[in-house]
Amino acid sequence: MQQYMECKSGAYTIRGTVYIPEQASINHKVPMTVLCHGFTADRNETLFIHRRLARILSAAGIAALCFDFMGSGESDGTFEEMSVLTETADVLAVLNYVCTLDYVDADRIALHGMSQGGLVACLAAAREPQKIRALSLWAPALCIPDMCKKGYLLKVSLDKIEEIGYIDYQGEKLGLIYVRDALQTDVWEELRSYAGPILTVHGTADQTVPYEYSVKLCEQFGGQCVLKTIEGADHDFETLSHNRQRLEYAAAFLKEQLSV
């Protein structure tokens, strides 16, 4: 069953879709996975891959919530107002919302994130570690703060961004807040407060988020982080085989960690 949802994140309304297993009820609580989309995507993710994962999880007895970040999809706000920290606040608001659902087992909640959604999922797990049972990531964009600290974002110098106040990104304004919030974000330090477990799935041909960032994540977490490498996959996993693999890896990990 699918159900429309709304919740508040600060002054904004966040909108999404909940995929609810048939057996879910107040007397049969089920685990929940919150899915976080990437930069410029919406709740369904590119080529609807998050919708596909949500349906797989629901069929396995795990509720799944796909939502639009503030400034994306059907949620309030504008793209210009968005940053990794506003998105982190959105995830925390959604987590508070799912804990109010009477069919959700609040002790079995996971986060899943693609690209920038993976970075944001990491930050949210670090800030509410007691709420997160597991963290599933696809090509997590842990490189974003580093990119900004090198003085450029999307091939535009930070000096130029400061001068005009935004980046013209494919006809949308990416605001100065995005750069400023990225510069003050130390995801590696924040993640020290989250104990795991983590799954990260990454392609060796990713030209957007270097594969080495998932390697570094596993080095930091040791045995609590598993890296599944997909040889030849790019950032968007743009073949049938690569998509099948990332879906299978995420679904198996979440079913194991959420005990279904």
CATH number of the domain within which 110 lies: 3.40.50.1820
Please tell me the total count of domains within the chain: 1
Is 118 part of any domain? yes
Q: What is the pTM of this model?
A: 0.95
Is 124 part of any domain? yes
What pLDDT, on a 0 to 100 scale, did the predictor assign at position 154? Answer: 85
Is 178 part of any domain? no
Kindly list the strands in the beta sheet with 134-138, ordered across the sheet, starting from the edge strand earlier in the chain: 2-9, 12-19, 63-67, 30-36, 104-114, 134-138, 198-203, 225-230
Task: Give the residue numbers spanning the domain of 85.
Answer: 2-142+190-257
* DSSP H or E run through 175: strand 172-175
Is 104 part of any domain? yes
Helices (H), the chain: 49-59, 84-98, 116-127, 144-149, 158-164, 176-183, 187-190, 212-221, 240-257
What pLDDT, on a 0 to 100 scale, did the predictor assign at position 102? Answer: 96
Q: Which amino acid is at 58?
A: S
- Give the torsion through C-alpha atoms of 17, 22, 26, 28, to 10 deg: -130
CB 182 within 8 A of CB 189: no
**Residue stretches of the chain with pLDDT short of 70:** 260
Distance in angstroms (rounded) separating the CA atoms of residues 234 and 17: 28
What pLDDT, on a 0 to 100 scale, did the predictor assign at position 152? Answer: 86
- What SS3 class is residue 131? helix
What pLDDT, on a 0 to 100 scale, did the predictor assign at position 87? Answer: 98
Is 56 part of any domain? yes
Q: How many residues does the chain have?
A: 260
What pLDDT, on a 0 to 100 scale, did the predictor assign at position 82? Answer: 97
Please write the tens of the pLDDT for every residue from 120-133.
999 999 999 999 99
What pLDDT, on a 0 to 100 scale, did the predictor assign at position 237? Answer: 97
Is 32 part of any domain? yes
- Residues whose CB falls within 8 Å of the CB of residue 247, separated by 6 or more in sequence, listed in order: 49, 52, 53, 56
What pLDDT, on a 0 to 100 scale, did the predictor assign at position 162? Answer: 87
Is 133 part of any domain? yes
CB hemisphere CA count around 191 (13 angstroms): 22
Nearest to 258 by CA among 182, 194, 199: 199
